Structure 1
Amino acid sequence: MKSASGIRLSMRVWDAPLRLFHGASTLLAALLALSWVEGWPDIHRWTAETLLLLLLFRLGWGFAGSETSRFSAFLVAPLSGVEKRDAKRHATTRLTASSPGQATRPDFGHGAAGGWLILVILLALSGACLTGLCASPSDPFFRLLPPEETANAAFAHSVALIVLGALFALHLLLLLIAGRISGESPLRQFISGKKRLPAATRTPKLAGPGMAALVLLCALLLTLLLLRQFGG
């Protein structure tokens, strides 16, 4: 007889706004690099401005979004020796069960290293976006730079794009390795937002579309304010 702990069910763990952010930001980052290489200034600027909107949304969603989308869910300090032993014994749990009799939730999100990699990617994406908005005199944030730094803006943007591409490749490689180890397709999880987990797993709290719309509206207003204020 198979124990209840061995039963695995498909459970939604990633919300739609987060998955849409990942998909859109990946495509826009690729377009940002392509338009820079091909010399399409108008497309490049539009892409950077759209990325700014998405990054501001992700910042807000990291605090007001679903449980698994919040920075506090995956940005954890390196484990101490005692915590490492406890993690091995208890399958590395981070969120406790909602009732005393319910099992703790396995760590189905990012691990400590993966969480910090996501933060580094977000910082690199922010760097590529912001340097892309001040790399030439026609860019909205160009006039914020000191005169002696304007010559370095385009170089910094090129470096940011290279670093971003390397981080994306590393993230993809780690996803493929994790998928091979777990036997589950990361692409399928990305599209559906679901993952197969033990039946006793506590369902994570997912934010509703109303909260997503509010965060997006705030991000849009802030983006327009910044571009209007500094766009000249």
Structure 2
Amino acid sequence: MNTDEPVRPPVPPVRRSVLVWDAPTRLFHWLVVALVTAAYVTLKLNWIDWHVRVGEALLALLIFRLLWGCFGSETARFRRFLASPAAALGHLRHLFRRDDDTQVGHNAAGGWMVMLLLALLLIETLSGLYLNNDIADEGPLSEWVPAWLANAIASVHALGWDVLLAAVVVHVLVIALYAVVKGHNLVRPMLTGYKPLPPSVAVPQQRPTWLALVLLAVGAAVVTLLATYL
């Protein structure tokens, strides 16, 4: 046995670049970031008309995302990433364990965070749509709702904003925690769409961009009808 033979470093596993996030999902993500920031700025500056327009744009995007979660690409579909609560808790138990990143799409806990953020955004945009209707005194919605319920909607809108901001902060902190503790870069795939994965990991199916445009048009049409006739 030759003891003088140099010790070779371990060979890193072979990986190839895989498209895990399609363009519609990535655009939705970053447009929501921009619009939530715009909603905060316009609220602080008391630019109510712009605040309303931002809210309507957000609601159109949310309707698109709900539809894309049913008919869109594989990693965007709710049934693909929404795991059981037990699976999410099991994932969180290994949060501080440094391991190899072979996850395609959202992990079990991340899927629930996505649903929470979507729910909070829907609450904010829908309640804001009512409040704008109430202020503008347009349409029959204000007359259909008793005063106590109108006050409750206003309170939900105000409180929901604070809860949404808290959830966003937690979301950002967890992403930073993944980068520091686990060595997983979750931001780059959401920017480029691609992620290095082993050959054993199946490539997720993608849906065409034209379908996303159709679903976005549906979302815009629904918001236009709500804002015009309610």
Q: Is the 8 A contact 2:18 2:203 kept in 1?
A: yes
Kindly report structure 1 stretches of 4+ aligned residues shifted beyond 6 Å: 1-5
User: How far, CA to CA, are the matches of 1:175 and 1:199 in structure 2?
Assistant: 25
Tell me what 2:124 maps to.
128
1:24-74 CA distance string (max 9 Å, x none)? 111111221222232111011101111110010001000010000000111
1:66 aligned to 2:66? no
Which segments of 5 or more consecutive residues in structure 2 lack a partner in the other structure?
1-7, 95-101
Instruction: Show the counterpart of 2:36.
Output: 29
Residue in structure 1 matched with residue 214 of structure 2 by the alignment:
214
- Name the structure 1 match of 2:187: 187
1:17 and 2:24 are equivalent in the alignment: yes
Report the residue type matching 2:198 in the other structure.
P
Query: Contact between 2:20 and 2:189, CA under 8 Å: does it hold in 1?
Result: no
Deviation at 1:182, TM superposition (A): 4.4
Q: 1:40 to 1:145 in 2, by over 3 A?
A: farther
Counterpart mapping for 1:14-163 below 5 A: 14-79=21-86, 106-136=102-132, 137-138=134-135, 143=142, 145-163=145-163
Amino acid at match of 1:210: W
Residue 101 of structure 1 is matched in structure 2 by: none
SS at match of 2:221: helix
Q: Which segments of 5 or more consecutive residues in structure 1 lack a partner in the other structure?
A: 89-105
TM-score by length of 2: 0.81
Indicate the RMSD between aligned Cα atoms, in angstroms.
2.6
Q: Percent identity?
A: 31
Deviation of 1:126 after TM superposition, in Å, equals 0.8
Shift of the alpha carbon at 1:125? 0.8
TM superposition shift of 1:3: 10
Correspondence for 2:98: none
**Deviation at residue 77 of structure 1 after TM alignment:** 1.2
Partners of 1:5 and 1:198 within 8 A in 2: no
Q: CA deviation at 1:193?
A: 1.0
Q: How many residues align?
A: 208
Deviation at 1:179, TM superposition (A): 2.2
After superposition, what is the alpha-carbon deviation per residue over 1:104-163, rounded to whole angstroms, capped at 9, x for unaligned?
xx5322222211111011001111111222235235686253222223333321211111
